[in-house]
Amino acid sequence: MNAFAPNPLRQGLVEDRLPEPCTVVIFGASGDLTKRKLVPALYSLMAERLLPPSFAVVGYARKEVSDVAFRGEMKEWCGKHARHKQTEELWSQFEKGIYFHTGDYDTPEDYQALKGRLDQIDKERGIPGNRVFYVSTPPSTFPIVVKQLSDNGLINKTGTGPFTRVIIEKPFGTDLQSARDLNAHCLKHLAEDQIYRIDHYLGKETVQNLMVFRFANAFFEPLWNNRYVDHVQITGAEALGIEGRGGYFDHAGILRDMVQNHLFQVMALTAMEPPVSLNATDLRDEKVKVLKALRPIPEGRFDEFVVRGQYRAGSVAGRPIPSYQEEVGVTAGSTTETYVALKMFIDNWRWAGVPFYLRSAKAMPKKVTEVALVFKDAPHRLFGEKSSNEPNVLAIRIQPDEGISMRFGSKVPGNTLDINPVNMEFRYGTSFGTEPPEAYERLQLDCMLGDQALYTRADEVEASWKYISRIHDEWKRSFARGIPTYEAGSWGPDESDAMLRRSNQAWRRL
């Protein structure tokens, strides 16, 4: 089969999603994200004929690497991690547009050399000066890279002609003030429509399907409110420990690493009102409204709404996990949380009185990310004691085994009227016969197309940090109290279960 034969399922769609010819420059090209995600995603986009014929990728990092060596390295990583199988024909075309440029992040001369290199690539590849700069570097260098791009004439500030777009990786700030400072810095050098603050969860197929599920199906949206929903649970669990990332994680913690960005975005999509349209402004306006409606935690009552924990030695799937305190790079006596659970309320018309429970952790029994709407009991238990005590649940599984399940009561076959809970499931893999695209495929493509709908806006970032920073401030004040622990391979500290029991609720068994 011809590797470039058109996909009949995409006929009539591809042309609408084809970007203008452009160059993607990846700062931090020697890092794992470039090898495992970014370049493999671009290769898969090319395999699906979603990249323009005139296209280039330039890796930028401090190490000395030739174009030929970088191409060989990327071929190996694409072979391991790209969603599409590698073919010599396709790779031969793709690698012609791969280059490497050596430079420091804070040296103007290196940016001037990059500018000259890009101009030369434009001539060779027929690219009209369009640029996407992907800043995948340590967070401390984000402002440096943006300023150097601006100072050295690599950003088109005219609003006309070739486009310049800058993707900035997470974390976007470490608290409210640093996020405000970084936003202000970026807006000195770029227009808001040139800044793409990435959160890869928004590129996941099932996260996007939240909107389709709610707003394209008439029989779910009427139930999506406080009249029928008892509470909502959003879980982001990892089976791994910190896996050698102690130096980073001990300064971040799970609240910064997972909740402020990923889980808050999932919560906002779950709770938001229908947007006027799917353009970036309308969609992000509705998410911001949710974040601004979060009820502040009352002073002196943080323990009622926030639980944190830290894993001690245990095992996951038979594999021993050392205590967090024994991990390399962790400060002795650290109180950094590897588990956090929040009880939150959204004070608006739709969700008044409905608790939203968010939890995220390391060293859990399994890796799973899901949203679960737990419904209220039927108003009258017609079947009495024979009714199931389990509530109806609608669960959207984000990873792994992406799909949707509904749990409801059904009569057990037989001559008696016994009722047991059953599941009705939809899974992407079995229903569509294909695995969903990688998040970084969709997000890089959207940036090249100039679509910011799946990227976060400045006020969105600051609204989430406003809530999260108060929790960090409280933890600093209560440092001497220490931190609860939980055994690696368990579902977290007892205090987390107790938080839900106080409202006659319980975490789902996953």
Task: List, by residue number, the catalytic residues.
Answer: 262
- State the virtual CA torsion across 330, 333, 336, 340 in degrees, nearest 10: 130
Tokens of 96: 């012609």
Please report where in the chains the tokens 């400060």 appear, as a residue. 331
Euclidean distance between CA atoms 390 and 372, whole angstroms = 14
Half-sphere CA count of 410, side-chain side, radius 13 A: 9
b/e per residue 105-134 (b: at least 16 CB within 10 A)? beeeebbbebeebbeebbeebebeebbbbb
Q: Scan for tokens 């499931």, then name that residue.
A: 425
Which residues are bridge partners to 345 per DSSP? 355
Distance between CA atoms of residues 400 and 384, nearest Å: 37
Specify the residue for token string 């609003």: 159
From CA 404, how far away is CA 371, in angstroms rounded?
10
- Tell me if 357 sits within 8 A of 305, measured CB to CB: no
Residues 324/310, Cβ–Cβ less than 8 Å? yes
Residue that has been written with the tokens 């910190």 in this structure: 242
509 to 77, 281, 372, 506: CA distances (angstroms): 36, 37, 11, 9
The phi, psi pair for 500, rounded to 5°, reads: -80, -35
